[in-house]
Amino acid sequence: MTFMGRRWSRYEFGIALGFGLQASAELIVSTKWTKDLGYISELPLIAFDAACLIWLITFLKPEKTAPAPTQSVSPEVLEEAKKWQETLQESLSGREGSLND
């Protein structure tokens, strides 16, 4: 996510953390399915409870919204973006077009 320039919001991170915790607990239990599980069989239930607590804490307060950037875009950048948009639209619609036109 960081490599792609995307940032996790608090809600996204909380949801992913809860599901990841549950999935890892299920994976641990499923690898032990042929043996006597003992206390390990309770792991998915504990993981679900922990995930619910994570989700509850995550959604207790509303997320703060970031202010919109006030910086204007230069006309050259805007023109280049329009060229890329046209090129992408042509490639998606199946028409021939190149970036060097």
**Domain ranges (residues) in the chain:** 1-66, 68-101
- Report the C-alpha dihedral over residues 87, 92, 95, 101, rounded to 10 degrees: 10
- The model's confidence at residue 4, banded by pLDDT at 50, 70 and 90, is confident
Structure tokens at 95: 């028409």
CB 54 within 8 A of CB 17: yes
Cα–Cα distance for residue pair 74/23, rounded to 1 Å: 47
CB 22 within 8 A of CB 47: yes
pLDDT at 1: 67
Q: Once rounded to an integer, what is the mean pLDDT over residues 49-75?
A: 82
pLDDT at 30: 82
